[in-house]
Amino acid sequence: MVRIIGNGAAGAVVVNMAGTAAFYAEVTTAVYELRWMMLAVVALVAVDFVSGLTASVRLRGEDFRFSRAGRRTFGKLLEYFGYLLVGVAVGKGLEPLGLLGYVKVAALGLCFAVLFEVDSIAGHVCDLHGIKARFSIKRLFISLIKRKDKDLGEAVEDALETDGKEVENGTDSKKDS
């Protein structure tokens, strides 16, 4: 369907509604193809929510505050769906080049979510069962990077260790003061 909106010096301005419909169809197809990945994100976050809630209330004796737990859980959902969305956008950009499909790139984005969530869930489960020695996928990942490139591995390790801390000039300001 084509509508003529106005007639100016440059000629008629034409808005093609078929383009909008095609974009909508492409988005719904992408959502349909990624439905299991989206379900995996929801399942991972739900398991992390329950295990974290159980560990904090039972072991640490903290009061349950739904506003805080809900905010953190909703933030994780947004972050992980964001990984999928960025993966779809990058994948759609790479498709014309014949490199990777958007489903594969979105799966790579989901791998980051799985990496973070599995470590979190494993930590909660170890807390619940009193296990002190823990296996960490993040530490394994850093070790593999260090084997290939020591400097890169140390940079990744420093970035993960200083997460949430203020860093100035490559040093941790809390350690210096």
DSSP-derived secondary structure for 85-115: HHHHHHHHHHGGGTS--HHHHHHHHHHHHHH
Number of Cβ within 10 Å of residue 127's Cβ equals 19
**Tell me: the pLDDT tens digits for 79-127?**
888 888 888 888 888 888 888 888 888 888 888 778 777 777 777 777 7
**Tell me: the pLDDT tens digits for 37-90?**
889 889 988 888 888 888 777 777 777 777 888 888 898 899 888 888 888 888
pTM above 0.75, yes or no: no
What does the pLDDT read at residue 39?
Answer: 92
Region at 63 (left for phi over 0; alpha for psi -120 to 50; beta for the rest): beta
- Apex 127 CA angle, 126 and 133, nearest 5: 50
148 membership: H or E segment, kind and range: helix 137-148
- Apex 112 CA angle, 106 and 118, nearest 5: 125
**Tell me: the pLDDT tens digits for 119-177?**
777 777 777 777 776 667 777 777 888 888 888 777 777 776 655 444 344 444 444 43
Q: Are 51 and 121 in contact (CB under 8 A)?
A: yes
